[in-house]
Structure 1
């Protein structure tokens, strides 16, 4: 019978003792920041902030800004408001990032904020302002909601 590796035995023992495995690292963030984000997501009472939501929001935000060129981009409303489909709207992804940023401790917040700030600059450059946003949007106080939609 083959011998089991010591690392596998330790991992099994920790899992049985109630310890969770370390969270998946979010692309571009340190392990410490990823752990802090995971903690915020697990403890959040918000329906849309759940484990893995920050990673998904960052990926959606990057994907929206990914196509090269100078043509303006227009955010689209989501077809459904459930947890999964709501990320089709890039503005919702930015809402989730803002919610997580508010709840993070200072150092992890600074690291995530740097990434979000660079994406925000690209978002501002690639979208057009909506002059009637105060009349149309229910969240007109947020700058990323005051952009023209498709």
Structure 2
């Protein structure tokens, strides 16, 4: 049997990796194992809000909303479009996605992601104002995130 040249072997290997699935990326702040668990949940989810990359996007959006300079109150604004990409404009939707992923994760990965989200939740409560009319909206009043004032620009 003739020997195969190294160049031919390298080309074969390169071609075999082109069409394969992309490896999961690591979510900033999570271990590789927890990131892989999140990737599995996103890949297996049939819901419209959880799709590959949604957890990382939701976590980045939540951090971005909570870390502008200054001490002024923040007001979440509702998304103008309900598509899965634009709905992250509403930081409350991003937090809802994180909550849904937290419910589906195994215990260890849930603990890791929970340790990232818990201080952000405390900061959200500190930087937003309570809505005095939340009791009039019973469909949203059950969620603590929606009992905060909203509908103004996030930047003042």
TM-score, L = length of structure 2: 0.84
CA distance in 1, matches of 2:88, 2:9: 41
**Offset of 1:44 from its aligned partner?**
1.2
Partner of 1:3: 7
Asked if 2 retains the 8 angstrom alpha-carbon contact of 1:128 and 1:147, the reply is yes
Relative to structure 1, the CA distance from residue 12 to residue 33 in structure 2 (aligned partners, 3 Å threshold; closer, same or farther) is farther
CA distance in 2, matches of 1:142, 1:70: 25
For CA contacts below 8 A with separation 6 or more, give which structure has more relative contact order.
2
Relative to structure 1, the CA distance from residue 15 to residue 110 in structure 2 (aligned partners, 3 Å threshold; closer, same or farther) is farther
After TM superposition, the structure 1 = structure 2 runs for residues 43-62 of structure 1, keeping only pairs within 5 Å, are 43-62=44-63
- Off by >6 Å, runs of 4+ in structure 1: none
Partner of 2:148: 147
Asked if 2 retains the 8 angstrom alpha-carbon contact of 1:137 and 1:146, the reply is no
Number of equivalenced pairs: 146
Relative to structure 1, the CA distance from residue 87 to residue 137 in structure 2 (aligned partners, 3 Å threshold; closer, same or farther) is farther
Partner of 2:89: 88
Partner of 1:28: 29
Unmatched tracts of structure 1, length 5 or more: none
CA distance in 1, matches of 2:145, 2:109: 22
CA distance in 2, matches of 1:86, 1:137: 22
Asked if 2 retains the 8 angstrom alpha-carbon contact of 1:37 and 1:104, the reply is yes
CA distance in 1, matches of 2:8, 2:69: 50
